[in-house]
Structure 1
Amino acid sequence: MEKTVCELFAGVGGFRLGLERASNEFRTVWFSQWEPGKKKQWAHDCYVQHWGDIDDFTGIDISLVNKHNIPDHNLLVGGFPCQDYSVARPLPGSAGLEGKKGVLWWQIRDTLEAKHAPFVLLENVDRLLKSPASQRGRDFGVILACLADLGYAVEWRVINAAEYGAAQKRRRTFIFAYSAATCYAERINRYNPENIISSIGFFARTFPIEQNLLVNEEHIAFRDIPSVSESFSFDFKNAGFMIGGRIYTADVKPIEERPVLLRDILERNVSEAYYLGDKLEKWEYLKGAKKIERTSKTGHSYIFSEGAISFPDSIDSPARTMLTSESSLNRSTHVIRDPETDRLRLLTQVEAERIQGFDDNWTNTGMPQKFRYFCMGNALVVSMVTRMGRTLSTIMEGEL
């Protein structure tokens, strides 16, 4: 099997970079990156500067792309946003699903329906498994039902990158799906679900875990996808396996590896522009504990409270999860004490790239400095993809 790849919601190319580091046989045949509401598509342009463009449709709204025109590929990858995956029933006389406009999961589903990729690797935030709060597990249930309907079996794991050697405590849900028509399916489906989750499955082979598991089981008994949206809820654990609509899930504990520390990735001789200057008091307020009386829109008074967070961030641990707002004056931005100057400062753009595992100055392609942080906040940890890429490479080499 050729290791051909289609990368949706590509950002600045974290999936592609990670896969290519795993094997030079991975070949991206098409990608899509479009930032809604932006006149200048900086992330797309960054991607193109590194690898070149493919056609006139890689930088437009994916919903406008005819999925049948996407080149054939054997692996579909993408990091898609966590949204509301509720589904309405089709109107009389119409066909297909009527998901909310702009919900990007449906673009993945439509691509799979059109192109039938044998393998799929997706990334989302960890709360995907629990959303929405009013019907826990529904959104992930909708995704699993769609994949089951298209003939895929699915594994998932919530992975904290720092627990597997990375420089960031970034928890993300990864989804690996494979078609029933693959040789891999014929081999792996002979094993019981507990073994797939604990030792022989895709994620267990890539990210080893402790072996004591308590596996819960559930069946998505659905007439159609809207029926899942209407009634399904389930307590998904941080790992699991689904085949034929039957779900097996367990909380697993990683066999932890030594992470990279913030101290290990810091630049030297950092510009004065990154130091806090006269805003120290504002930073102390944002990072500190608060109890503030507020009034709701209905006139109800309540106390808003939040605890203090570390200020400055320790450089002797991995970074916290980096957000798209990194470097702006807000509570979530990293502030460190520079070991050379003993003064407080922000992270540089290169340090943000190192935290995510990109090459230095990967985003130094003409985009605004603040958007470089935005792109890193949106990215995934490249080293995690490289690990998965090695496992995928072996799996694909076993295909005809």
Structure 2
Amino acid sequence: MLDGVNVALGVSGSIAAVKTVELAHELRRQGASVRAVMTESARGIVHPWSLQYATDNDVVTELTGRVEHVELCGRDGWADVLLLAPATANTVGKVAAAIDDTPVTTCATTALGAGVPVVVAPAMHEPMYDHPGVTDAIDRVREWDVSFVDPRIEEGKAKIATEEAIVLTTARACGDRPLAGRHVVVTSGATSERIDPVRTLSNRASGRTGRAVARACYASGAAVTLVHDGSEVPYASVRQVESAAEMTAAVLDAVDGGADALVSAAAISDYTVEPSETKLRSGEERTLDLEPTPKLIDTVRDAHPDLPIVGFKLETGGDDDDLASVARGTLERAELSFVVANDASVLGADETRVLFVRADSATEYRGDKAGLGLRVADELQNELGG
């Protein structure tokens, strides 16, 4: 996601600075090169040697005749993006006022003047975050197209955002953003049909592929709505659903509100039952009358004839020709942009293998699900003319 990206990591004196060692590792795991810049206060919390080890680069702790701020963040500087994490109330206020009395704030002023993207991940006590002067400073800096990674408000503190949220926002800020201005609706994971108050019919889908697609679309600049039976995520507006009917209704509502594409990656229940209002007794033979559920992509296609829709098709057994043939049946029936087809053997696995099936082609992807999400986002960009 950050392959080939140079990240200047500005660390200021919040206790959250202890998390920057792992953040630097995660940025590098995503393909970035990282060089750290620290305030004096930050050095009292985490030793520069720790960040030197984590980044595999020397750490800037003072500005010298080498004019490190220009070397890193000037118009022809090393950095593709400046990430301030953590950013204290003091640092945000100084950035807003162009006060350059630390290596971090001087890098920020230089980056903003040079047009280098800046990402800010605040961390402080909640009353400081709510101070009108701090909120004014944040609003002012936002007006300069600086990206903020909102903190997690917990235990009276505005805690630094998760590594995932910071990495995604950094990727979004410094990438080409070919999906900027687009709204993509993504379905993910399994649905479940209630049998009684404690039992359901469901499947083994983990939702990892759908979430990877949503993350990749967000990093590419899109506004993303994620429809799934799961928790809130930092990269999308979430519609939480349980059953196939709830997912279909939520998707239609999201698409009706204005969407440029739908990626239907969820493993939606094919059958439902009339649920019992009370728990069914165990130990008794029982027959369940299964009723087929309407196909979500067909329902959406009927309501939105021109909407680009990406389908997913899961099969068992057979070779690639069989898999592509079944996928093309779905492609033609619902007039899809393309279908991502795979064998059920990859359910829940870290690595996956799929075919991208179109009317006249079937190309293979083999790798992890994060890479698959990026490939789907790339193919979608081509469909939308991004």
TM-score (norm 2): 0.36
Q: Which structure features the higher share of helix residues?
A: 2
TM-score (norm 1): 0.35
Of structures 1 and 2, the one scoring higher in RCO (CA 8 A, sep 6+) is 1
Q: Which structure features the higher share of strand residues?
A: 2
